């Protein structure tokens, strides 16, 4: 049993008590080593139900939020998922255990690079990464379109509504999870695309996320010591 196993078991039990029922999601959180994705000096908090800073003003979400967003997406092994905001790769790795394929975009180059290293170290082979502007969705690359996606998850908060590009890249019948609102009044929302022009909206719970920003971050300092994997 590794150093974190007892803490991990307690966390999974706490998530079940808090209402997470999807066993595939709980199994994914049990399999993926959260300590691998956070700074070394904070590894003692790896299995506490809290968000942890990872540098460049970003955080790895608390496990309950990761579990709730993943569960509400209703992902199956037939689905292709787009994630906006890779961070160091934790949410994408959780998704990789329940989805057929995950495509993930990160605007901070240092975080993108760390995430790629983490996916390689953990032998995660069904995740494709991109350094770019997530608000534009997944671009056409070499004439190859991956959109539309069965599911989209956004790990940063839109100010008023999801970017139009993301709505356009969602399959009819597809689901998007995204925080919406100003800092201090954000609500995690579940959008289901009912037709090309309509979608239903369900409020899930209050949350706190960093803002969803356009463009890529070319000013990120590469020597930020908190930007690291295992």
Does residue 33 belong to any structural domain of this protein? no
Question: Which domain CATH number covers 112?
Answer: 3.40.50.150
Does residue 214 belong to any structural domain of this protein? no
The total of other beta-carbon atoms located within 10 Å of residue 171's CB is 15
Q: Mapping DSSP to helix (H, G, I), strand (E, B) and coil, where does residue 80 land? A: strand
The total of other beta-carbon atoms located within 10 Å of residue 228's CB is 18
Residue with tokens 């990789």: 96
What pLDDT digit, counting tens, does each position of 122-168 carry?
Answer: 999 999 999 999 999 999 888 889 999 999 999 999 999 999 999 99
pLDDT band at 220 (very low <50, low <70, confident <90, very high): low
Cα gap 201→4, rounded to integer Å: 38
Encoded tokens for 18:
């808090």
Count of domains in the chain?
A: 1
Q: Are 224 and 114 in contact (CB under 8 A)?
A: no
What pLDDT digit, counting tens, does each position of 13-39 carry?
Answer: 999 999 999 999 999 999 999 999 999
Does residue 180 belong to any structural domain of this protein? yes
What pLDDT digit, counting tens, does each position of 60-83 carry?
Answer: 999 999 999 999 999 999 999 999
Instruction: Answer whether residue 100 shows pLDDT above 90.
Output: yes
What pLDDT digit, counting tens, does each position of 161-202 carry?
Answer: 999 999 999 999 999 999 999 989 999 999 999 999 999 999
Q: Which residues are catalytic?
A: 61
Q: Mapping DSSP to helix (H, G, I), strand (E, B) and coil, where does residue 177 land? A: strand
Q: Taking the complete model, does pTM exceed 0.85, yes or no? A: yes
Residue with tokens 């997944």: 138
The total of other beta-carbon atoms located within 10 Å of residue 167's CB is 18
What DSSP character marks residue 108?
A: B
Domain residues for the domain of 139 are: 64-207
């Amino acid at each position: 049993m590794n150093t974190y196993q007892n803490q991990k078991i307690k966390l999974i039990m706490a998530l079940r008590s808090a209402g997470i029922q999807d066993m595939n999601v709980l199994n994914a959180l049990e399999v993926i080593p959260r300590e691998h994705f956070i700074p070394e000096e904070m590894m003692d908090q790896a299995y506490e139900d809290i968000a942890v800073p990872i540098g460049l003003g970003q955080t790895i979400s608390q496990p309950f939020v990761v579990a709730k967003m993943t569960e509400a997406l209703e992902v199956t092994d037939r689905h292709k998922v787009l994630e906006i905001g890779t961070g160091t790769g934790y949410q994408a790795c959780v998704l990789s255990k329940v989805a057929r394929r995950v495509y993930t975009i990160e605007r901070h180059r240092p975080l993108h690079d760390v995430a790629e290293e983490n996916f390689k170290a953990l032998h995660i082979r069904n995740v494709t990464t991109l350094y770019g502007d997530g608000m534009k969705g997944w671009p056409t690359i070499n004439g190859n379109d991956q959109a539309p996606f069965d599911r989209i998850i956004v790990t940063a908060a839109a100010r008023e509504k999801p970017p139009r590009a993301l709505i356009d890249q969602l399959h009819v019948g597809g689901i998007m999870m995204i925080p919406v609102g100003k800092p201090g009044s954000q609500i995690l929302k579940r959008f289901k695309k009912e037709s090309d022009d309509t979608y239903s909206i369900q409020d899930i719970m209050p949350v706190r996320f960093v803002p969803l920003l356009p463009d890529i971050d070319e000013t990120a300092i590469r020597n930020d010591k908190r930007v690291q994997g295992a």
